[in-house]
Amino acid sequence: MIKHIVMWNIKEDLDLDRTRQTLKEKLEALTHAVESLKELSVGFNYNTSEAKRDVVLITSFLDKDGLDAYIVHPAHVQVGEYVRQVTKDRVVVDYEY
């Protein structure tokens, strides 16, 4: 199994709550669109540390081929375009378990 974890900070000039909610809805819609995606969870951070991120996406795939298929899937690419418009940075971790 592969875990794919992505964390973002929302751009400061946007409404944090509204943008996070829209982002969550778009990400959760991927569950029904991408067959290789086995689990998906979206969370909002409440920690105020300097190292914080506003939103986290945690996904699971059976194998690297499943993750690779997700990355290029048209639904994921479309959501990615929105994500890049509303976020200022990104941190990614992929690992096998």
Secondary structure class of 58 (helix, strand, coil): strand
Which fold, 2-96?
Alpha-Beta Plaits (3.30.70)
Amino acid identity of residue 36, one-letter, is S
Distant-in-sequence, close-in-space partners of 92: CB < 8 Å, separation ≥ 6: 4, 5, 6, 7
Average pLDDT over every residue of 64-72: 98
What is the residue-averaged pLDDT of the chain?
A: 98
**Quick one: pLDDT at residue 63?**
98
Domain ranges of the chain: 2-96
**Quick one: pLDDT at residue 81?**
98
**Quick one: pLDDT at residue 13?**
98
**Whole-number Cα distances in Å, 88 to 37, 60, 76, 82:** 25, 25, 19, 12
- Confidence band of 8 (pLDDT split at 50, 70, 90): very high
Distant-in-sequence, close-in-space partners of 43: CB < 8 Å, separation ≥ 6: 55, 56, 58
Average pLDDT over every residue of 64-89: 98
Cα separation, 73 vs 53, in Å, equals: 25
- Taking only the tens place, the pLDDT of each residue in 12-57 is 999 999 999 999 999 999 999 999 999 999 999 999 898 999 999 9
**Quick one: pLDDT at residue 86?**
99
